[in-house]
Amino acid sequence: MARPVVAIVGRPNVGKSTIFNRIIGDRLAIVEDKPGVTRDRIYGTSEWNGKTFSIVDTGGIEIDAGDEIMRSVRAQAELAIDEADTIVFMVDGKAGLTHADEEVARLLFRSGKPVVVAVNKVDNPGRIDSIYEFYSLGFGDPIAISGSHGTGISDLLDRVVEALPEPSEEEYDDDVIRVALIGRPNVGKSSLVNAILGEERVIVSDVAGTTRDAIDTPFEKDGRKFVLIDTAGMRKRGKIYETTEKYSVLRSLKAIERSDVVLVLINAEEGIIEQDKHIAGYAHEAGKASVLVVNKWDAVEKDDKTMRQFELRIRDQFQFMSYAPIVFLSAKTKQRLHRLLPVVEHVAEQHAMRVQTHLLNDIVADAVAVNPPPTDKGKRLRINYATQVAVKPPTIVLFVNDPELMHFSYSRYLENKIREAFAFEGTPLRIIVRKKSDED
């Protein structure tokens, strides 16, 4: 079931990122303590009045003065029109209504999408009159908010969730493996889709997916059903959407949300860049099974050590995804392409795997016996019980005497021991620590 998407748009410096962080709150915090985990997220998930939604901040784009400002603002608005279900249009109560605001409003109005106008920087009751000129934008009652003080956020969220559509139901059976392809521009996403389908030659049909302007392609291989969710090459407009990751994050997010397995493509010719880690981080944080696919391997000059050296660089740069298998291939020549779908099928099974409770407790007990938890101010962590409570991703709850005594490093040690016993290859493993109660 795909979550609806809320996009925050507006011209630069109106406070989009501040409001985004207010809405996301602690959910944005990343608990990884390893290099290579990027900290600057521009998307997240939130819940209000029983409705869960994805939210994207289209701000933070570095721009020059003059006409470039208008081009950037227009691009953000067009992104929201294309991808979002509901739009929060942020304006600046201190600066008042500007020509740039009116330009964005015209674009949003023609879209027919639900739009909620949020007038930021209304930091005290004396400034409430500043909202009235924004009625002229034509989107109903503007809402006065203050990012710095946090006021008006609940009123804003009330309006946003009222305008959200119901989550869309998926049209595929449970036995279908949904595979999303993500990656920065020019890594070969479309070429890989064409190579997979061209080799298998058993396409069932092309059907429109729930992701706008994307095509879901179902096919079968050796009796196993797959659906490729392609996020590449579907734009009708110019290349402005490919100039920065921030313009394509919504497409990747929607594809990831609907997938079972995510193929993170890396361009072998160009090597690993920071944006690759950003994109991989989306799949990691969404808890999806993942495969790191090094494409264009045919174009690399190599000897018997080249692949191993490249793999070591990937492991160093993607330490937060050490569980993800790596596949080297060429979509152009179909070199090593036959290795990909068996890996996809394997990690999908691992992603949905459930282990028996008594086996899990045996492994945890052995791990504690070999390496007891350290003491903290005279107190020692005691793990009473472990149980798997969910799949996709596998989620394990540890009932303990005091959750605050669980250090991150010890939690990672237990995760490693669990992976040694049960593999869980290709999938994140979530460990939740709870205080043991009498009911437990």
218 annotated as belonging to a binding site for a ligand? no
Kindly give, in sequence order, each residue whose CB lies less than 8 Å from that of residue 202, ignoring residues fewer than 6 positions away: 219, 220, 221
**Residue 384 known to bind ligand:** no
Q: At what angle do helices 67-83 and 245-258 cross, to 10 degrees?
A: 10
| 361 in a known ligand binding site | no
Placement of tokens 């190599």 in the chain = 302
Cis bond before residue 35 (omega within 30° of 0): no
Helix (H) or strand (E) holding 5: strand 5-9
Q: Rounded to whole angstroms, how far apart are CA atoms 6 and 55? A: 5
366 marked ligand binding residue: no
The answer to whether 60 is a known ligand-binding residue is yes
Q: Residue 361 corresponds to which tokens in the numbers above?
A: 């407790």
- Burial pattern 117-154, b for ≥16 Cβ within 10 A else e, equals bbbbbbbeeeeeebbeebeebebeebbbbbbeeeebbe
Q: Does 15 belong to an annotated binding site?
A: yes
* 226: enclosing H helix or E strand: strand 224-230
Annotated binding residue 287? no
- 188 in a known ligand binding site: yes
> Does the annotation place 17 within a ligand binding site?
yes
16 is an annotated ligand-binding site residue = yes
112 is in an annotated binding site: no
The verdict on whether residue 194 carries a ligand-binding annotation is no
Is 190 marked within a binding site?
yes
Strand partners, 46: 53
306 is in an annotated binding site: no
CA 365-371-375 angle, to 5 degrees, is 105
13 is annotated as contributing to ligand binding: yes
- Residue 121, annotated ligand binder? yes
| 12 marked among binding-site residues | yes
Annotate 175-202 with b (16+ C-beta within 10 A) or e (fewer): ebbbbbbbbbbebbbebbbebbbeeeee
Q: Is 238 marked as binding a ligand?
A: no
**Residue 315 marked as a ligand binder:** no
Specify the amino acid at residue 426. Answer: G
* Residue 213 counted as an annotated binding residue: no
Q: Is there a binding annotation on residue 437? A: no
Cα 307 to Cα 145, 271, 302, distances in angstroms = 54, 12, 8
How many C-beta neighbours within 10 Å does residue 371 have? 12
Q: Is 96 annotated as a binding residue?
A: no
- The count of other CB atoms within 10 Å of the CB of residue 248 is 22
Strand pairing class (43-48; 51-57) = antiparallel
Can you tell me which residue has the tokens 């003065």?
Answer: 65
**Which residue type occupies 205?**
S
The reply to whether 233 sits in an annotated binding site is: yes
Taking every pair of C-alpha atoms in the chain, what is the biggest distance, in angstroms?
Answer: 72
Q: Is 123 annotated to bind ligand?
A: yes
Is residue 230 annotated as involved in ligand binding? yes
Query: Annotated binding residue at 49?
Result: no
Both structure tokens of 69 = 């400002």
Q: Which residue ranges make up the annotated binding site?
A: 10-17, 57-61, 120-123, 183-190, 230-234, 295-298
Q: Which residues define the annotated binding site for GTP?
A: 10-17, 57-61, 120-123, 183-190, 230-234, 295-298
